[in-house]
Amino acid sequence: MLSAELLSAFLEIVGPRGLITAQNQLQTYECDGLTAFREAPSAVLLPETTGQVQAILRLCTRHKVPFVARGAGTGLSGGALPTQGSIVIGFSRMTKILNVDLVNHQITVQPGVINANVTVAVAGAGFFYAPDPSSQTVCTIGGNVAENAGGAHCLKYGFTVTHVLEATVVLPSGELVTLGSKSPDAPGYDLLGVFIGSEGTLGIATEMTLRIVRKPEAIQVLLAAFPSISAAAQTVSDIIAAGLLPSAMEIMDRLAIVAAEAAVHPQYPMCDGLLIVEVDGPLAEVKLQAEQVLELCRKNGAIETRHAIDEGDRLLIWKGRKAAFAAAGRLSPNYIVQDGVIPRTTLPVVLEKIAAMANAEGLRVTNVFHAGDGNLHPIVLYRRDNPGEEERAIDLSMRILDLCVETGGSITGEHGVGREKQCSMSYMYAPADLATMQRVRRAFDPDNIANPEKLFPTPRLCGEQKRGHYVPHPVEASGIAEVF
């Protein structure tokens, strides 16, 4: 698709090791974790420096070539899906940690640095990087920033947006700007806040300064088994209402426990609603909070409680939770993972409604989710072999998302809008709201070449529809590993 001239200009910028054009190699880049859509890029470029990224984008602007930035490709909404004729800019060669500033609790990294490696770089000094998507052992900081990644511990520590201080960003024009500031209280517009979570539509960050957090003196994780998932959910509401702020509160239902147990044997108590609560802080505070949490668990009818006996046990408990989604393949050959948000206080009601909807449809739905944030991840299990079952599963998954929005929630908690849910944006926002976002987009990307056809509804892809419509992505049982 690209002219020989343009290809040779790209080659000049990134060198032969930085340019992929062979069809079989391009296939690797034709989708991310959302496999329902596929489109091979025209070429893949792997720059090594900010200057190279600038040179690439200058050419893209001159020739109106769309570009898609890509980290590890673990995204679940098609954010890194190439569009027709686009190039992919991959960051597998920009993996340097550029600076560690322990005095000011900061670290500066390139976009290809793996999330978990940020913590590795500062753990010796007693710090960690807080946002912890379940894919943290593979996903990259560049992708985390694009998607404003969350994770189990964002309940206490906040999403990616609260942990990025400054970003060096190459605009689609190739111009270099600094968004945010390493220093406190930068005046003017908070453009860094707009950039984070903009899903690659405003430019490409090539350096990011992150806030690191001092490791707490003590961490304790508690397990409480409840006779129902709504009892577990009610406990979450009560914990927050009591003014406690655990670092994480996760809920798993019986099916999810079965799957996790089969996959990594975390020895969860078997029940209909398992609550995992982690508290951290000074030792005295942790002890106190843990007691208060346990008391609220008992008050809500917990039939069994236990805590991690040591650090190994704690990590195993988390391994089980983080593996739960991939493990859903042990329950069903096909499944759809949904990502929606509801106000935390509505958890018990919404979970009961989801169960009723699943029963009425004769399908199984299992729930594993960030309960403290009200961020649901219902998994609709089905067999594609059964005629009509996939359609019914997709329909159910869509109706669950509708329910989230109707309850005052959101179409996505942490997986992003991307290609998957772009048509649903009209369900959440009025035309004037979307038009304002689009004008801001054009302030950064006047030619609409930065990850186009994502995030916003387009007439071509979404037609005239006014309400929720999105494309759930069926997963093969052998599919994605530990990325939820």
Least distance to its own copies from the beta carbon of 343, Å? Answer: 6
Q: Which of residues 439-468 bind its own copies (CB under 8 A)?
A: 439-444, 455-456
Using CB under 8 A as the binding rule, whether residue 408 contacts its own copies is answered as yes
When the beta carbons of 188 and 459 are compared against its own copies, the nearer one is 188
Q: Which of 21, 95, 193, 462 binds its own copies (CB under 8 A)?
A: 193
Using CB under 8 A as the binding rule, whether residue 255 contacts its own copies is answered as no
* Candidate segments 29-37, 127-135, 436-444, 459-467, binder of its own copies by CB under 8 A: 436-444
Q: How far apart are CA 157 and CA 373, in angstroms?
A: 12
Using CB under 8 A as the binding rule, whether residue 190 contacts its own copies is answered as yes
Using CB under 8 A as the binding rule, whether residue 219 contacts its own copies is answered as no
When the beta carbons of 304 and 406 are compared against its own copies, the nearer one is 406
Count Cα neighbours of 55 within 13 Å in the Cβ-side half-sphere. Answer: 18
**CA-based nearest residue to 263, from 27, 477, 18:** 477
Least distance to its own copies from the beta carbon of 92, Å? Answer: 27
What would the x/- binding string for its own copies be over residues 157 to 176, using CB under 8 A?
Answer: ----x---------x---xx
- Confirm if 132 and 159 have CB atoms less than 8 A apart: no
Q: Which of residues 33-52 bind its own copies (CB under 8 A)?
A: none
Q: Which of residues 2-31 bind its own copies (CB under 8 A)?
A: none
Using CB under 8 A as the binding rule, whether residue 134 contacts its own copies is answered as no
Least distance to its own copies from the beta carbon of 213, Å? Answer: 10
Count of chain residues binding its own copies (CB under 8 A): 67
- Contact residues: its own copies, CB under 8 A: 103-104, 161, 171, 175-179, 181-191, 193-194, 196-198, 214, 216-217, 243, 282, 284-285, 288, 341, 343-345, 373-375, 408-414, 416-417, 421, 425, 428-430, 432-434, 436-437, 439-444, 455-456
